[in-house]
């Protein structure tokens, strides 16, 4: 990030007509964006939400409340403008791109084999990197029936604990479904245990295409200095393997919200991220991050639009 722009933004915050610090996280956000955009008064002009979609072999193990065909049906819904992310991206002034990744070819069931071949995982990483285009703020979302199970496996492989620590109801499975998810995650970790030696291997063996695409997009955004608003448990799990060796990889990321999916709070805490919102959302699609963009816009409106004490003729404290 650009230290000079950050410092200028921080100095500006100290001059605006309010007690110092009284806008709380809105001040932090404005200063954060100033650093990544290299500009004292940052703006969102090309905000973009990208939803990656993929299908999962582990669905065969009864880990989701919805059938696998819903992934493609929801991609059609995104394209027709009928999903939550359409409405929420629109309300936040974001363009929306949808990137389905070989939906007709689900990943392998990771309890039997690596979810992806190396080549497939690389292709997904590259698809994610390509999708950031010329955005100046990114919301990265996912759709993939069964993918909270992959997310739990990635979190467990990255941060340890037990499968039960990371597994939750997802779209709404019952106690038996949760038991099946735990068994699936445990079986996956047992099968791959000796091979989970690099972030790439963790991602390819336990992840999914839409998850790898988010990893690729976060990495590409970092190279391009584009701030990223992270969504829920699955989107956050996409960077978990990267953060173990390099915690600073999240420096250009804002945790948009804390999902109601219980593993998310634990994962954010492991990553040292404090979410902007906590609204009991658990939908994915980038929906929580898109709502968080509203807060970011409010932060920039105050930062750029307020008068200083000197301009307004207001006595300082």
Q: Site residues (CB under 8 A) for a second copy? A: 16-26, 65-67, 69-70, 73-74, 76-77, 80-84, 86-88, 90-92, 171-172, 260, 276-283, 287, 290-291, 294-295, 297-298, 301-302, 304-307, 311-317
Residue 110 neighbours by CB under 8 Å, 6+ apart: 57, 58, 150, 153, 184, 188, 191, 192, 205, 206
Q: Hey, which residues does 97 pair with through a beta bridge?
A: 50
Q: Which of 27, 142, 210, 285 is catalytic?
A: 285
Report the alpha-carbon distance of residue 234 to residue 259 in Å, rounded. 10
CB of 70 to a second copy, least distance (A): 5
For the CB of residue 185, give the shortest distance to a second copy in the complex, in Å: 20
Question: Does residue 285 carry a catalytic annotation?
Answer: yes
Q: Of the candidates 74, 52, 49, 50, which has an alpha carbon nearest to the alpha carbon of residue 212?
A: 52
Least separation, in Å, of the C-beta of 236 and a second copy? 17
Do 115 and 204 form a contact (C-beta atoms < 8 A)? yes
Q: Rounded distance, CA 66 to CA 146, Å?
A: 8
- Token pair for 157: 């492989």
Q: Which residue has the tokens 């200063």?
A: 31
Q: Compute the distance between CA of residue 58 and CA of residue 146 in angstroms, rounded to an integer.
A: 7
Q: How far is the CB of 308 from a second copy (least distance, A)?
A: 8
Least CB distance from residue 167 to a second copy, whole Å? 16
User: In which residue are the tokens 């049906």 written?
Assistant: 73
Q: What angle do CA 206, 279, 159 make, to 5 degrees?
A: 30
Select 24 or 175, whichever has its Cβ closest to a second copy. 24
- For a second copy, the closer CB: 116 or 253: 253
Q: How far is the CB of 133 from a second copy (least distance, A)?
A: 24
Which CB atom, from 216 or from 288, has the smaller least distance to a second copy?
288
122: left (phi over 0), alpha (psi -120 to 50) or beta: alpha
In terms of CB distance, is 122 or 302 closer to a second copy?
A: 302
* Whether 22 contacts 80, CB under 8 Å: no
Is the CB of 53 or the CB of 189 nearer to a second copy?
A: 53
Q: Which two tokens stand for residue 180?
A: 């099946």
Q: Measured from the CB atom, is 120 or 285 closer to a second copy?
A: 285
Rounded Cα distance, 115 and 262, in Å: 24
Can you list the positions of beta strands (E) in the chain? 47-53, 95-100, 137-143, 228-230, 253-255
Q: Which residues pair with 230 in a beta bridge?
A: 255
Q: Name which of 35 and 284 has its Cβ closer to a second copy.
A: 284
Minimum separation from the CB atom of position 229 to a second copy (A)? 14
Active site residues: 285
């Amino acid at each position: 990030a650009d230290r000079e722009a950050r410092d200028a933004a921080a100095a500006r915050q100290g001059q605006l007509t309010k007690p110092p610090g009284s806008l709380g996280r809105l001040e932090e956000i404005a200063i954060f964006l100033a650093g990544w955009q290299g500009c004292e008064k940052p703006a969102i002009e090309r905000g973009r939400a990208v939803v990656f979609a993929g299908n999962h072999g582990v669905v065969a193990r009864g880990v989701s409340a919805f059938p696998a065909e819903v992934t493609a049906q929801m991609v059609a819904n995104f394209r027709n403008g009928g999903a939550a992310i359409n409405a929420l991206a629109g309300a936040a002034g974001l363009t929306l791109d949808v990137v389905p990744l070989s939906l007709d070819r689900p990943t392998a069931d990771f309890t039997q084999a690596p979810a992806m071949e190396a080549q497939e995982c690389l292709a997904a990483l590259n698809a994610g990197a390509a999708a950031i285009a010329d955005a100046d703020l990114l919301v990265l979302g996912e759709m993939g029936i069964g993918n909270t199970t992959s997310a739990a496996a990635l979190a467990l492989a990255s941060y340890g604990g037990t499968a039960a620590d990371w597994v939750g109801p997802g779209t709404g499975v019952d106690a038996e479904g949760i038991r099946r998810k735990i068994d699936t995650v445990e079986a996956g970790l047992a099968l791959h245990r000796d091979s989970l030696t690099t972030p790439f291997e963790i991602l390819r063996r336990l992840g999914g295409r839409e998850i790898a695409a988010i990893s690729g997009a976060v990495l590409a955004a970092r190279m391009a200095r584009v701030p990223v608003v992270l969504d829920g448990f699955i989107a956050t799990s996409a960077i978990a393997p990267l953060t173990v060796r390099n915690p600073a990889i999240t420096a250009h990321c804002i945790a948009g919200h804390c999902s109601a999916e219980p593993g998310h709070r634990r994962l954010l805490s492991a990553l040292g991220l404090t979410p902007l919102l906590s609204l009991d959302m658990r939908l994915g699609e980038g929906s929580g991050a898109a709502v968080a963009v509203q807060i970011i816009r409010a932060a920039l409106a105050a930062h750029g639009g307020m008068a200083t004490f000197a301009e307004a003729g207001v006595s300082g404290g």
